[in-house]
Amino acid sequence: MAQGDTELEARLEEQDEFEPSEEFVAQANVSDSDIYDEFEENWPVCWERAADLLDWDEEYDEVLDDSNPPFYEWFTGGELNACYNCVDRHVENGDKNRVAIKWEGEHGETRTYTYQDLYREVNEFAAALRDLGVEEDDVVTLYMPMVPELPIAMLACARIGAPHNVVFAGFSAEALATRMNAADSRFLVTCDGYYRRGDPLDHLDKTNEGLDSVDHGVDATVVVDRLGDDGFGHDLKGNQHDWDDLLDEQGGERVEPVERDAEDMLFLMYTSGTTGQPKGVKHTTGGYLSYATWTSHAVLDIEQEDTYWCSADIGWITGHSYIVYGPLALGSTTVMYEGTPDFPNRDRMWDIVEKYAVDIFYTAPTAIRAFMKWGSKYPASRDLSSLRLLGTVGEPINPRAWKWYYEHIGNEDCPVVDTWWQTETGGMMITTLPGVKNMKPGSAGPPLPGIDAQIVDTNGDEVKPGRAGYLTVNKPWPGMLRTLYNNDERYISEYWEEYSDTDSDDPDDWVYFPEDGAKVDEDDYITVLGRVDDVINVSGHRLGTMEIESAIVGVEGVAEAAVVGGNHEVKGEAVYAYVITEDGYEEGDDLRARIIEGVEDAIGPIARPEQVVFTPELPKTRSGKIMRRLLEDVANGAELGNTSTLRNPEIVGEIEAKVRAQS
């Protein structure tokens, strides 16, 4: 490293607060600090600002109906269409030739969709869906990787009022079936395969296996031909249709966007929770779209002229809100990349930033830690001067990674927004407004204007600055989930029961609990510490330990299993599985391989255990409860917590020795 670099690193290391540059502030979409007070004084009417970013077919009567908490309704009486807002209105406003989607495949092939192109394909696919029998309110499952047909299918669904249910392509056949069954979904859009690290991957085989386990039967499946000659030679079955054939048949067909009530469902998204059963998070047309658009405008600072790149997968909420809905509603250019960040080389991301002159880049801390590990020579070899703003999401970012990002990607010119939010919140909740607030590495920032977040103790009383507590949200917001699909009871018990007076119909008695720990400083900046439920965060992806445990227990030869998250340099957390074998089965590589396969089959490779540790017993309290804390300590090589309440304290040392021997 050059001498100058070392000095720079040393200076950055000491600095714990950063100001946005005057140049950034001067051009920012939001730069007036009064916005916080304005939202507070005029709440909830202030949220009209978000709704005003959209075109409504029917004006709403009321901003918020809070008469039946926690079943809040936003922009009631209003009608709109999400697809119209993301596509048609830009075509009508003279921007038909502006680029909507810039797609790049792993092999370097590119596709460019102007708003007019998007308009044509979305209309044709909407017509095709109708012909296949999809009616308003039918749930359409989209099991697709990062191909342009995914956002096209989402928008086509939105156009005809059919909620989509996107299932991450990396999820297993079983996970697909679980989600289709839970969502009563009879329609599926998928593809033959896609590329990963240069190799074609068979996706249709996995799809077909999943379809065999869909209980209620499936009316139609549409298959995108992504691999062409590299395909696996599958024949389409009777109710399976080729995407291109369907579009050819439509040839320029137009479909009127359906007027949807603001509270009509736009989509479902399944996410992991404490129990084994994934939760079907329901998002609505008016509130969600307003919120995704508003936060894209205020936090990501997206303007119509911008080329914006969020490197997430559309299979997660980040991609829904900040690859598809937010950026397209604002009429900007959104970049989509199919592959991995190190294919063919470790400068792939920076190659894309340089090539398309990306203005705004949004990624996850796990990616930043990998870039750091690879070294700064990769970004240094590319021209990244087009960048204006950087963002992160998905997990806490440590100050070192934050500063590396700020220096080596942003050249100390770009504000970094560390955005805390969840699948359930629909959009960002806690982060700095980049044109208004200073940044403090390691802290997400204050709650956004209009968001009322507090850190409380187990009694719900606010804790002092600096003390760890539980994050709560005390007022509703437009992007919030409305319920869990077909399960109002679980909606209340998962998110509200903990800190609310559930007998009350006064909204002030209702408090949303995101199940994160956090602390706050004197300036109201919140540092999120991580999940306090049995959910772990692997590379920014949320995994339920119960789901993984039940997959492992399903493997022949396994008697009992406990799964915890252990610290991991790049992934943030990694899956550690402690397993007791059944009598007559041998511990060893064969069983270990079957356990890993069992987890990949049930969930997908992202849930693959980093370590499988066989043990004759699990540490348990006298009442029989597994002491997960201790298992986490063991995984982290940390000093062991108190073992005195254990029935079998000696086992912890034994497990520790095994973990050390394996790593």
Residues lying near ligand WT7 in the complex (CB under 6 A): 271, 316-318, 393-396, 418-423, 444, 514, 516, 528, 530-531, 537, 540, 542
Q: Per residue in 204-241, is it b (16+ CB within 10 Å) or e — as a string?
A: bebbbebbeebeeebebbbbbbbbeeeeeebeeeeebb
Q: Under DSSP, is residue 69 helix (H, G, I), strand (E, B) or coil?
A: coil
Distance of closest approach, residue 527 Cβ to ligand WT7, in angstroms: 8
Q: Residue 150: which of 301, 351, 334 has the closest Cα?
A: 334
Q: Under DSSP, is residue 80 helix (H, G, I), strand (E, B) or coil?
A: strand
Establish how many alpha carbons lie within 13 A of residue 11's alpha carbon, considering only the half-sphere containing its beta carbon: 10
Q: Specify the residue, 421 or 576, whose C-beta has the smaller distance to ligand WT7.
A: 421
Q: Specify the residue, 222 or 310, whose C-beta has the smaller distance to ligand WT7.
A: 310
Q: Specify the residue, 401 or 618, whose C-beta has the smaller distance to ligand WT7.
A: 401
Distance of closest approach, residue 542 Cβ to ligand WT7, in angstroms: 4
d(CA 200, CA 223): 16
Distance of closest approach, residue 220 Cβ to ligand WT7, in angstroms: 30
Q: Specify the residue, 31 or 422, whose C-beta has the smaller distance to ligand WT7.
A: 422
Question: Which residue type does 491 have?
Answer: Y
Distance of closest approach, residue 264 Cβ to ligand WT7, in angstroms: 23
Neighbouring CB atoms inside 10 A of 11's CB total 10
Question: Which residue type does 557 have?
Answer: G
Establish how many alpha carbons lie within 13 A of residue 16's alpha carbon, considering only the half-sphere containing its beta carbon: 5
Q: Specify the residue, 317 or 631, whose C-beta has the smaller distance to ligand WT7.
A: 317
Distance of closest approach, residue 316 Cβ to ligand WT7, in angstroms: 6
Establish how many alpha carbons lie within 13 A of residue 542's alpha carbon, considering only the half-sphere containing its beta carbon: 29
Q: Specify the residue, 195 or 316, whose C-beta has the smaller distance to ligand WT7.
A: 316
Q: Which helix (H) or strand (E) holds 415?
A: none
Distance of closest approach, residue 365 Cβ to ligand WT7, in angstroms: 8
Distance of closest approach, residue 463 Cβ to ligand WT7, in angstroms: 18
Tokens of 72: 């809040």
Q: Specify the residue, 419 or 483, whose C-beta has the smaller distance to ligand WT7.
A: 419
Q: Specify the residue, 295 or 419, whose C-beta has the smaller distance to ligand WT7.
A: 419
Q: Specify the residue, 81 or 271, whose C-beta has the smaller distance to ligand WT7.
A: 271
8 Å CB contact between 434 and 415: yes
Neighbouring CB atoms inside 10 A of 557's CB total 16
Distance of closest approach, residue 628 Cβ to ligand WT7, in angstroms: 17
Q: Specify the residue, 115 or 420, whose C-beta has the smaller distance to ligand WT7.
A: 420
Q: Under DSSP, is residue 334 helix (H, G, I), strand (E, B) or coil?
A: strand
Distance of closest approach, residue 469 Cβ to ligand WT7, in angstroms: 15
Q: Specify the residue, 126 or 364, whose C-beta has the smaller distance to ligand WT7.
A: 364
d(CA 338, CA 198): 11
Distance of closest approach, residue 164 Cβ to ligand WT7, in angstroms: 17
Q: Residue 284: which of 323, 256, 315, 325 has the closest Cα?
A: 325
Q: Specify the residue, 85 or 318, whose C-beta has the smaller distance to ligand WT7.
A: 318
Place of tokens 């437009």: 478
Distance of closest approach, residue 536 Cβ to ligand WT7, in angstroms: 10
Distance of closest approach, residue 543 Cβ to ligand WT7, in angstroms: 9
Q: Is 625 exposed, middle or buried (0-12, 13-18, 19+ CB in 10 A)?
A: exposed
Q: Specify the residue, 257 or 565, whose C-beta has the smaller distance to ligand WT7.
A: 565
Q: Specify the residue, 241 or 297, whose C-beta has the smaller distance to ligand WT7.
A: 297
Q: Residue 90: which of 66, 116, 65 has the closest Cα?
A: 116
Angle between helices 545-553 and 589-602 (to 10 degrees): 130
Residue 39 phi, psi dihedral angles, 5° rounding: -65, -40
Distance of closest approach, residue 396 Cβ to ligand WT7, in angstroms: 4
| For residue 344, cis peptide bond before it (omega within 30 degrees of 0) | yes
d(CA 99, CA 343): 25
Q: Specify the residue, 122 or 364, whose C-beta has the smaller distance to ligand WT7.
A: 364
Tokens of 481: 């989930």
Q: Which helix (H) or strand (E) holds 152?
A: helix 149-160
Q: Residue 607: which of 615, 618, 596, 617 has the closest Cα?
A: 596
| DSSP labels, 167-204 | --TTS-HHHHHHHHHHTT--EEEEESEEEETTEEEE-H
Distance of closest approach, residue 302 Cβ to ligand WT7, in angstroms: 17
Distance of closest approach, residue 590 Cβ to ligand WT7, in angstroms: 34
8 Å CB contact between 147 and 226: yes
Q: Under DSSP, is residue 59 helix (H, G, I), strand (E, B) or coil?
A: coil
d(CA 473, CA 490): 18
